[in-house]
A = this chain, B = another copy of it.
Amino acid sequence: MTAAVNDHNISELTAFSRQLTAPQGFGDASLIAAAPGAIRLLGGIPAPEALPVEDIGRATAELWQDRDAAVASLQYSQTHGFVALRNWIAQREGVDPRRIVMTNGGMHGLSLAVLTVVERGAAVAVEDPVFPLFLRALEVSTTQTLPVPVLADGFDVDYLAGRLAAGERIAAAYIVPDFHNPTQVTLSADKRQALIGLAERYGFYVIVDNPYRELRFAGEEQGVAVFNQSDRAIHVNTFTKTLGPGWRLGWLVLPDHLVDPVIRLRNRGDSHSPTVTQTIVERLVTGDGQWFDRVLAHANALYRERAGVLIDALHEQLPGAFETQAPEGGLFLWPRLTDDNIDPDALYQRALAKGVAYQQGAFFAASPQRESARYLRFAFGDRTPDELREAVHRLALAF
């Protein structure tokens, strides 16, 4: 024998693969096994009632009745993505359609962005608290983060500017500018401009993750043109929160110089998003120019009501227990426990025992500081008003 058989152990994996921590499900705690009958306030999941099932059924039926179109939907298509779909997105984003690259949803867009602009071992500025699945996507390149506090008007750009002025260097900054997950705050227009200014000055990229942007039911938009007009921003979006996560269909708005590199990378993965799903979604959004906005209006009315019901129930059933900021959009509430003597872990266990499951704030911490642990994240999107009232009733029992 010229060589011995290697053991089948972890050392045979690539360095790339070894550095990935074990997942705990798509959304980690989102997929915890809550007791039967528990009310789940867990994930950023669209309301079933907000999904345009009848319209999708109609568009799909039309597709399969047109044999040529049906066959085309079963064949290969281009990595860049469907042209009419990209044109429609480009018009809404205010950019040249060439700069739109279709993805398999927001996480996929984050992953492509990270692999393209974050060198192995480089540092990335992240919000604290942070959407924790971004940290997981980041692992394909690095685990080095620079946590930046989230203030009432979003990411603390001045804090980052100070760290950069002191000599720290980052490959990218990651932000969720609209209805930040989990805090729900929106980054102000001034700070958007200031952050892009820093990126241009110091030569890093801003990875702008914006899945909730279209779910606004109050307040004023702070604008995305500043991102879409910069060579320093990668703007990540998706149909996940509007037409449903099950499509796995999203898009990147890329600076012109990153279009080809991202397509090259995508070309080594699954080559292109499914022709079937792109065909159906393209038919839906381009068939009637007002359709998508009607879907949004219907959904946002629903989410406005649900957010209100949840806040009212907390005020009525648990007066004074939380500091609560009414969200202007999105799918989450992020209340802070007012009584510092309450142990959030014990409260969580009691709540589970009473039949209500939510995300603990500590899950979103990007640094060892314990402030996030004083918060709870309630996802209200896919719960009816009655379920939300009952959930708060159960939470009150846990107090």
Which A residues are within 8 Å of any B CB, using their own CB? 1-6, 8-10, 12-17, 20-23, 25-27, 31, 43, 45-46, 48, 51, 53, 56-57, 60-61, 64-65, 67, 70-79, 103-105, 107-108, 111, 115-120, 136-137, 139-141, 164-165, 167, 169, 200-203, 231, 243-249, 255, 257, 260-261, 263-265, 267-277, 279
Contacts and interface: CB of A to CB of B under 8 A. Distances in A.
B17 A74 contact: no
A25 B80 CA distance: 10
A103 B270 contact: yes
Oligomeric state, in copies: 2
A271 B119 contact: no
Name, among A65, A119, A136, A268, the residue most crowded by chain B CB atoms within 10 Å (CB to CB). A268
11 contacts: A8-B255, A14-B118, A15-B120, A16-B120, A20-B261, A53-B64, A57-B70, A74-B246, A105-B270, A105-B271, A137-B268
A247 B247 CA distance: 12
Contacts of A231: 8
B78 A264 contact: no
B13 A116 contact: yes
Contacts of A272: 26, 248
A72 B56 CA distance: 13
B244 A74 contact: yes
Name, among A20, A117, A169, A246, the residue most crowded by chain B CB atoms within 10 Å (CB to CB). A246
B276 A247 contact: yes
B274 A274 contact: yes
Contact of A77 (B246, B265, B276): B246
Contact of A264 (B20, B51, B265, B277): B20
A79 B26 contact: yes
Contact of A116 (B4, B14, B269): B14
Contacts of A10: 261
A25 B65 CA distance: 30
A64 B64 CA distance: 13
Contacts of A247: 74, 274-276
A67 B51 CA distance: 11
A56 B70 contact: yes
A135 to B, nearest CB: 10
Name, among A12, A78, A141, the residue most crowded by chain B CB atoms within 10 Å (CB to CB). A12
B264 A2 contact: no
Nearest to A264: B20
Contacts of A261: 10, 13, 17, 20
